[in-house]
Amino acid sequence: MEPAISRKIAYALPSFLLGLWAFTKVNEVSGPFFEPIIAACTNPDIDATDFASKTGYHTYEPKVGLGFFNVLVCLITQFVLELRETHPAGILVWGGVILVSLPVCVLACLEAGRAGVRGPVRYPVAMGLLYQLFGVSIIFPMIWVPSYIFGRGKRGGPLSTFRIFTSAVLGLPGVVLTSVVFLASSDSYLWTVSAGILGGPIVALSGLVLWKDVSLSLSPTAQNVKTTIRAVKNAYRLLMLVSFVGWVYLVAIAYQSYGTSVGDIWKDIWVDANASVAFMTIDTGVFYLALLIFVAYHSEVKAMKMLLVTPILGPGAAGCLVLRELEVETMTKYSKEHDYDLKQVERKKEA
């Protein structure tokens, strides 16, 4: 049953306002930091080969900008470097965003493949590029969540195992690149390339492989629905495991540096934080809250469960857990409601 318009507005509006607040706050805390970097990165008289010697900033690799996003790669390289050099606050806040991105990656890819989906939700690659350009804490709550609420496709029908498997795999490069950026030497070419890819267009453009997807042509047979349920469970389980391991790692770093003092952590990631760390603190918090709003739109009980298990499992694994449950419950309900129709389709197919 389609939710009432009042319910749609009740969740879409707060999400939009949350993104609007993030936009204002991000510009407030990071604007002065970015201005001189943007000036250097956009200076036509400074070539990438001698960028470091002429500006004093870290060198960047324009090749991973694919020509159109070189300024973004230049900017993000300096941004990630500051996070890298601000230990442990940098890894804690960047890691938080990466963990939340894992369940959202599966969510966004699956919803883009639904029959009847309309608007920005249908184009995950375009959304990914907007995340890179303007920040996930702005675009996800301001555009994606409201667009989903008012333009979502038909949930419960079958999806291809290719789409489901790919949705899980696409979330892993961010984890690998993050590991390189925070563990490899920042003087190495490997670090420079990894930082550029992490904040550039390549990761977002990798979603283009989903153009080969055949989800919309799948027959809604009982077998296809069962196959979808099984594949969705496995996709979320995989990322739930990766997310939980990442959360344990971040908790270990935090405990080693701050003990049990939440106040000291907050001081480092917000009160006394530099521009990059403060930016990512906003990103982490708003991204998580936007995902929570999405879950609450479907089930307030599931949202409460996600909130309660987050301190134990971490934001990524908690998101994977409830999204998996929502998906399986929706598909199971769909299967029961369309039991007769599904059997009729199978009989016709056999005949």
Q: List pLDDT tens digits, range 221-276.
A: 778 888 999 999 999 999 999 999 999 999 999 999 999 999 999 999 999 999 99
Whether 284 shows a pLDDT value over 90: the answer reads yes
* 337: exposed, middle or buried (Cβ count in 10 Å: 0-12, 13-18, 19+): exposed
pLDDT score for 218:
84
* Distance between CA atoms of residues 325 and 345, nearest Å: 27
- Mean pLDDT, all residues of the chain: 93
The pLDDT, as a whole number, for residue 348 is 57
pLDDT in tens, 97-110: 999 999 999 999 99
Which element (helix H / strand E) includes 29?
Answer: helix 5-41
First to last CA, the chain: 32
Q: Which whole-number Å values give the CA distances from 331 to 3, 271, 328, in the listed order?
A: 17, 45, 5
Q: How far, in Å, CA of 11 to CA of 104, rounded?
A: 17
Segment 215-219 shows an average pLDDT of 83
Residue 120: alpha-carbon gap to chain centroid: 15
Least confident residue range of 28-37, 102-111, 171-180: 28-37
Q: Tell me the C-alpha distance between 332 and 226, whole Å.
A: 9
Q: Which pLDDT does position 219 carry in this prediction? A: 81
Other beta carbons within 10 Å of 187: 10
pLDDT at 316: 98
Question: 45 in helix, strand or coil?
Answer: coil
294 vs 141: CA distance, rounded Å:
9
- Is-cis flag, bond preceding 311, omega within 30? no
**Global pTM value:** 0.94
Lowest mean pLDDT among 6-15, 70-79, 213-222: 213-222
Mean pLDDT for the stretch of residues 189-214: 93
b/e 270-290 (16+ beta carbons within 10 angstroms → b) = beebbbbbbbbbbbbbbbbbb
- Percent of the chain exceeding pLDDT 90 equals 82
Compute the average pLDDT of residues 322-346: 76
Instruction: Pull the structure tokens for residue 192.
Output: 């420079």
